[in-house]
Structure 1
Amino acid sequence: MATLDEIAAARASKADANHLLYLVRANQNFVTGTEGDAESGLAAIKAPTLLLYSADDLVFPAENVLDTARMIQADGTPVTLHTLKGDRGHLDGVVSIEQAADQLRGFLEAPVR
């Protein structure tokens, strides 16, 4: 955990809270693809997709992740969802990633369809 604390301290010396708020907002407003809307952009994904998320993530809320999965799956593209359990919200994607080791391994080692 010390590494995460060191990274946070280094980042805090270069960015303030407003920086983080704008970064989060930019991520939330990003539109996938070139069609101008998320649904078209996500529908263009044809490769199997793995989505890892935390139910308590405030940066990428679970509701949005589930909507993303639904839009990718709309044409039959396979999507695997895995919820990371923890109490650190968005940071669970870093500190709790080991929970998804089997899913990641299986996804990466799966034969290309």
Structure 2
Amino acid sequence: MLVDDHEIMRDGLREVLQRAGDYEVVGQAGDGAEAVRVAQSLRPDVIIMDVMMPLKNGIDACREITEVLPDTKVLMLTAASEEDAVIEAVAAGATGYLEKYSGKEKLLRTVRDVAEGEHRIPAT
């Protein structure tokens, strides 16, 4: 599942994942509040979610999602690389944290690792 307030970002992520051939994008959301509702309905294996979004930020949405769907893995994908954001994401239940400027191969590798239950958090 993809969560980002920029449609073009969601479209690009979906394209990268579909071209890899290993992934199926089952749903999308444009803000944190919608992400919680859609995740509860679809119960995705992995959610790739932006941190900064309207209505509810990604960290708050991650916290809510992981409380009700403990088997769903959340990969925070964001332009924010501040140490505090990483710490907050991990505390909220994120399994991974990746900066948006990372390349496609790193994204795909990180999604695969997170789906397998490995934690992928940058050193803080």
**What TM-score range do you get, normalising by the shorter chain?**
0.3 to 0.5
Q: TM-score, normalized by length of structure 2?
A: 0.33
Q: Whose radius of gyration is greater, 1 or 2? A: 1
